[in-house]
Amino acid sequence: MSKEQRTQVSAMLRQPRLDGPQSVEAIRAGFKAMMAPMVVPDGLRITETTLGDRPALYVEPGTEKRTGTILYFHGGGWVFGSPETALSLTGNLVARTGFTAYSPDYRLAPEHPFPAAIEDALSAYRALLDSGEDPSAIAFAGDSAGGGLSVTTCLAARDAGLPMPAAIVAFSPGLDATRTGESMDSKAGIDPFFTRESLGRTGAMYLAGADPHQPMLSPAVLADLTGFPPMLLQVGTDEVLLDDSTRMAARARAAGVDVILDITADVPHVFQSFAGVLDEADQALDRAALFLTQHVRIPGTAAKSAR
């Protein structure tokens, strides 16, 4: 671990911001600018396509492909972000696994509040299945709000009678719209990215008056996870959303789900975005890639620990 690297990342995230609420347009532009410098691996082939009636990016490795597909959901509080802003994450998972990935441009609030994002994510999964992809060769992954979508899309798929994907990887997932985790207060001032107030503003746009006390909005405290695939939850100790992951892991374990709770000290929200800058980011992505290659299987063959 590098204390100097962590200090540099924290200082960048703590740069002064405009006081008071910003317009949706300003929030989206600011996030796009923040994510633009993130390192995307060289050699990837990135194509604009459509998946489930929504625009999407299709990301292929520059080296030989392995059988497997990652359905990657970008972060952004269900209000901002895009497949492009998450390319450092999607691209690094593709480069490290040899799998291909689709990253759908799901609808955002406030123009399209809950449950539009879940509907689009489920539609993307249906499209993969309808195209003939085997669910044992598909993994869901995502960061922040997209990490939350990786879980709620599984809930929606199960409710719709669809088969479960092979695995879930969630980076700093948002899994509790009730905001009742102890870390919401214990990490206040420590988290360089979020505050309860900032989460409340974007959360209200997504909720649009919906009761947060329901599984599709707060799966960490309310969802029945019976039958879920293996899950890897990665989170940093400096996050107000830390307990979203710790409580989801406990809930998964109680439901008999294979789950790995991977907590890294002294790093911020979605620290994996800083691959190439922060040693902990590259190490976490290596662990995520290993998890995916262990669980995503070539249809019709036995599972292999490495390929």
Provide the 3-class DSSP secondary structure of residue 35. helix
- Which of 136, 144, 218, 245 is catalytic? The answer is 144
Active site residue 213: no
Which of 178, 39, 26, 51 shows the shortest CA–CA distance to 120?
Answer: 51
Pairing of strands 231-236, 138-143: unpaired
C-alpha to C-alpha distance for 16 and 32, rounded to whole angstroms: 17
Q: How many CB atoms lie under 10 A from the CB of residue 198?
A: 17
Q: How does strand 167-171 pair with strand 231-236?
A: parallel
Q: Choosing from 183, 269, 280, 295, which is the catalytic residue?
A: 269
Residue 133: active-site member: no
From 150, 239, 245, 295, the catalytic residue: 239
CB-based contact 51:118 (threshold 8 Å): no
CA distance 59 to 49: 10
Q: In whole angstroms, what is the distance from residue 289 CA to residue 185 CA?
A: 32
The type of residue at 158 is R
Which residue's structure tokens are 């710790």? 246
> What is the spatial distance between Cα 141 and Cα 103, in angstroms, rounded to a whole number?
10
* 280 in active site: no
Dig out the tokens for 292 from the structure: 């995916």
DSSP-derived letter for residue 228 is P
Catalytic residue positions? 144, 239, 269
